[in-house]
Structure 1
């Protein structure tokens, strides 16, 4: 109990520190002059005029949808500057809007036609992506940022795979590649909105693998590492598929740890709680700071949004079932990559049954893989409205489920004595 109290106290202090650092970073980037940013957003208007708010992207047979709607919001917030103070701009995050037009249309109308606009704020989110987006817009246009994104997505994927190989986790590489294809990394690279979670979970996973001995040497240290991951998720993400930032590092920990089952289960539960403390705590930090330092009661607005996003009512007020939520997510992973995943599971399943399955089942470590795989389902149920309305990108939470299940088969498909030798 003393250990848990100490860890909880340090987690709260860490969240408070991340909150203050996050605010200072936003204040710093809002101090950057926006002249060059506006020039590059103007140069980007043609992309939004041609593609619209939700263009389809189909390289892997996924029929993915890009989120130009949200990317336009990001660019408008990054480039707009009013005469209020730095603190107010960092807290409130203003942008121009035009009644009856979506953000992609607003960007085109405002920058190419000089249309009359209203100014609105969006204080409920941290908008931490502006820490990187505003400096990038000083140098690059939107289509150039897309190219950079594609390069970074590819480089990080290759680095992640290389680190897995270096850490003698080669058997988990194919499960990860298949799981990544399920969520369409090509589409992710073309929307700023989708890349934040990809960057967070990939970098966190690489750090976990490279520093695993140091992190596992202290359970408290590992727990605080997941607090930071949760804080970063809340700070940078626009509420896309946040649970993945817990899921992938947790699966890698489970695949690589040599700790006994009971202790491993306790650690996984602890780091899940700590991730949530970081995630929820960072949200709460913005709402409290925004209410105290801003011009709106963000806390009440946030509470109202939580009730809406957890409801079973769609945008028109019609009720939907939880089964409909799950069905909408699953629809998006029925792709060629899903066929690869199915073949992988079947082949590994046959290998599993050939090599002493009874002894492997009695180990019960498999229950931890199944537990992690079920977490996205709980997320979809808890955030029913958001998952139903935005199913075309929230389905990416299923990366956690797919990766966990395939890692389970990768671990248990070999002979029992081979597993034992590797885990000594």
Structure 2
């Protein structure tokens, strides 16, 4: 593998770590505002109506829903791009190389859901079984980045685990957290996606036609009964992963002016050789990490503790994230190793895998998102408290276990 790829991966992981810190600060601010004399202003801000009106077309929503339905569609677009890249050309392309992460992710989704259902067997509480399945990759990588000398292989394992987890969350939302489907908007959404796939087949390498299609696709998905954010994942399917043109490297010029010209040509060659998917992913990432997710956290993490009871929903979410995630990941990873379906990363033992399992219990963004689809009112507040409490404890335990396992390996 060329040396540039590990450097790019490190830059990605570092940016995820910084995004996790900003996400935490936004959530902390929301939580503080919700429990101070300014709480009425905070909750009123979330309900401020905003809309678009063009002639007879009128679409109006509270700010909270614009954030959760439209802004988060950009987050899901980024998730879709990452999933497509990893499956077609990344860590998930080779099953044996990705076997450990795949097995761990499956265990980390199934066991938390089962634990939640054990605690909450009846409706409406049982609708929240999908909440503790999710991992927040920004927070999890942010905590792992704080561990001194954390091996690159362990970061890759956590990244692949979280990406498979995101795929599971997308499928859960699409299959179990949608309303009644409307045939006409659903057909128009399929037609719009088909146009995007056709542009891909015709070799359209510009990004802007796909983004223009994204607006009607989002609207039709919104009206179809599916959750509007799934439009982001669908749009990602149409973005080409093939390179626009072959990369042209530099020659061996000696004259400084010629060399400067070749360097400029090299930069243009690198940009032109990138696929539209890579270019869009790199463009979106800072906007999502430093804009979309902190705004989402600010609008969704505010929970007033006055009068709130830590009931069965909060307990089920907390147990699922704090115990179900690490146990499911460890058991399935151990089984994959025993069956020869995967190998441990270099310098990593099962204790480190258990530590990563706890880090995967930091659910936050996706867990709060699914909670908003599953519940409302007091049950939603319970789910939020369970997510936030478990995420903090899981992060502390994960950091401690990973660091202890690495210290022991170096002793």
Give me the TM-score of the superposition, normalised by structure 1: 0.25
Query: Which structure has more RCO (C-alpha within 8 Å, separation ≥ 6)?
Result: 2
Give me the TM-score of the superposition, normalised by structure 2: 0.26
